[in-house]
Amino acid sequence: MNLPLVGYKLILSYCGTGFRGWQKQGQLPTVQRFLEEAVAKIWETNIHVEGASRTDAGVHAKGQVASFIAPRKHEAEVVQRALNYYLPDTIRVLHVRVVSKEFHARFHAISKTYQYWIWNDPVMDPFYLWRAWHIPRQLDIKGMNEATRLFVGKKDFASFVSYPGFVLKDTTKTVFDCGFTVQGQLCLFTIKADGFLYRMVRNIVGALVKIGLGRLDLEKLKVIFESKNRKLSPASAPPWGLYLMKVDYPPDMEINH
């Protein structure tokens, strides 16, 4: 009896420390590799798993989305329990939904939300090691928030994209909202856009921290933005402060099957 093929949509949380990022690279420890190995144990065959975002080495996720197509031999709750059984403790499947086999985690995403964590205190909290970027000097949060307005809207982010290993045809993205909030010593930068270029968030944060430390002013940042030259932009923020928080999809792609 041939079982019908369906789509499975997963929402994942993982601690990126110790992983070489999302994308499979042979036998290196990556999130995609461990997830595909877990799926293969359940279905007893190799199945490709697609991720909404190819997070870099050391980057974390609280709302990564993945999808794959497989015969409907298990309901969503069973798949969730089985995946978490086979996965390392640092990767957890928070939710599973059976969707149309047309659903694609990356191609159908309409927006993504990232957050970057900064620990702004002379003393680093050891519980935030490899979870937040330690900036010991006091940051000018008001000045940083004023500078974030420069990034909102449909803009060319050529000055804030690192070379991904291939020529980018288009460096234009639409940022819907971004800004800093403060929770004690933790400074959170949240940004939502229709998509992100390679290291775009980390490059933006690197520049905004320079603003916050008084080492870069808003006028100079505008010049950097308009130059469309990555070489003029400040260094990238480290990967361990970055979190993929949420991926949004059209409502018609969220229907249960």
Active site residues: 56
- β-bridge mates for residue 178, sequence order: 191
Cα angle 16-17-23, degrees, rounded to a multiple of 5: 45
Whole-angstrom Cα distance, residue 17 to residue 55?
12
Residue type, 138: Q
Nearest to 71 by CA among 13, 8, 10, 22: 8
Whole-angstrom Cα distance, residue 174 to residue 157?
10
Whole-angstrom Cα distance, residue 182 to residue 184?
6
- β-bridge mates for residue 192, sequence order: 113, 177
Residue type, 103: F
* DSSP of 241-255: GEEEEEEE--GGGS-
Whole-angstrom Cα distance, residue 158 to residue 238?
19
